Every structure is written in C-alpha cells, then in structure tokens.
Structure 1
Amino acid sequence: MHRATSRRAIQMADQILQVLARILVEEVEDPAVRLVTVTGVRLNRDFSIAEVLFTHVEGRAVEARTAQGLNRAKGFLRLRLGQELRLRAVPDLRFTWDTFLEEMVYDPPAAPHR
C-alpha cells in the first residue's frame, strides 16, 4: 500500500482515528473488541484503504480474537464513519496489530559509536 503523506491525508486519518475510537467505546458491543485501543490510521494515496493500527490491554495473546472481532464489526464501523464524517466514499478498513511499542521495548536503538 502506497501511503498518502499530504496534510489532507493526515487530517483525514486523524479524524477517522478519533471517530473509530469513540464508536468502539460507545457503540460496539462485541466483547472481543472491548479494551481495544486504536493507535493510528494510515491512508493510501487515493483514500480507498485505511490501515487501522490497534493494540489491546491484554497484549499480543488476544491479537487474533481481537482482529476477528474488528473484522466482524467492519461493516458497521464503515457505515458509522460515513455518517459521522459525511464521506462520499468510505475507505476499506484493514486492521493491523501495532508493534511500535513492542519494537521500542524489545529492540532499543543502538548506542551511537564514538
């Protein structure tokens, strides 16, 4: 996926993140997606795909169950996104586990050489 890097893409990704996070907390009742944190959204160049990065309080052990729950809720989430953001075309949501924190903890950057 070729990511969009324009200011418009970043603003749209931030709006999608905020709306998705609120919908997951307030409207989705699936126990598999409780305690999910949406950590980021990346859009492709034509805004047709939104890669949604997520984590869960219980950690990587529930990644598969959580991803399945998010995929079950995908249609509802896209419907609500379109309503909230008044989008003509709602991007396809693709859910990906966010490994940023894990990489920072387990793979710290190397010390600079002197």
Structure 2
Amino acid sequence: MSHRPEKLAESIKKETSEMLRAELKDPRVGFATVTGVEVSGDLKYAKIYVSVLGAEKERDLTMAALKKAQGFIRTELGRRIRMRQVPEVSFKLDESLDHGARIIELLNEVRVKDD
C-alpha cells in the first residue's frame, strides 16, 4: 500500500496554509486555518478542511472566497509540489472545533449542576 496520498496531503496542507496566511489577498478570507487534507487514492482530488473563526456570515463569506480561489490555489500547488497531475481541490468547512467547544460547554454545565 502506498503512502503517497498521506505525504501529498501533508504537503498540500503546508502549502495551502502558507498561501492563506501570506498570499491570498481576498479580504473575505478571514481567520481561516487548514485543519486537514484528504487526498483520493488516485491522487486526482483533494478535500481541504478549513476552520473559520467568526459568525456564520463570516464563515459563508470565507468559504465563498476560498471556492473562488480554488483555481489559483491549484495552480500554485502545481508550482510548489512536484507531481505529474495536480489534484482538483475543494474546500470543506471543518466544524469539529465548534462541536468540541459545545461538548466542553455541556460538560461544564453538568459539572456546575453536580456541585
């Protein structure tokens, strides 16, 4: 079994994070963090999971801006990572941090009630 998808996912995560931090000039991209990348076994598709700080409106604006920047990001990935075919990228909102915060909040409520 090949480890290439995992290695490629890690490279895509690193390079995309750098692009979001330093190179993407769209003001709609707020505080976005790449939390993970899944690459298909045939290396043709990459799902980039992004966590966005802010209210629902800011998240929607950020996701729209990232969708618009997919072509730029794919082109840049092709320049930075050596590969025969650059995967088609798509962005997905990672809400796991919100779910985790909600669970902690509920546990704290239960703890307060028990005291």
**Residue 43 (structure 1) aligns with:** 39
Distance 1:6 1:61, change over 3 A: farther
Q: Does 1:28 align with 2:24?
A: yes
Residue 15 of structure 2 corresponds to which residue in structure 1?
19
**Residues 31 and 8 (structure 1), Cα distance of their counterparts in 2 relative to 1, 3 Å cut:** same
Q: In the alignment, which residue of structure 2 is the partner of 1:63?
A: 59
Q: Which amino acid aligns with 1:52?
A: I
Q: What pairs with 1:78-97 in structure 2 (closer than 5 Å)?
A: 78-97=74-93
Rg: which structure is higher? 2
Aligned AA for 1:15?
S
Detail structure 1 runs of 4+ shifted over 4 Å in the superposition. Answer: none
Quote the RMSD (CA, aligned, Å). Answer: 2.0
Q: Which amino acid aligns with 2:71?
A: G
Q: 1:32 to 1:88 in 2, by over 3 A?
A: same
Distance 2:48 2:55 in 1: 17
Provide structure 1 residue ranges, at least 5 long, that are not aligned to the other structure.
109-114
**Conserved? CA contact 2:35–2:50, under 8 Å:** yes
Gaps of at least 5 residues in structure 2 are 105-115
Please say if residues 43 and 49 of structure 1, whose CA atoms lie closer than 8 Å, have aligned partners that are also in contact.
Answer: yes
Report percent identity of matched pairs: 30
Q: Write out per-residue CA displacement over residues 46-65 of structure 1, whole angstroms, 9 at most, x where no aligned residue.
A: 11111110012215442221
Whole-angstrom distance in 2 between the partners of 1:60 and 1:39: 18
- How many corresponding residue pairs? 105
TM-score (norm 1): 0.81
Once residues 56 and 10 of structure 1 are traced to their aligned partners in structure 2, the CA distance between those partners, rounded to angstroms, is 24
Map of 1:77 onto structure 2: 73
- Name the aligned partner's letter for residue 98 of structure 2: E
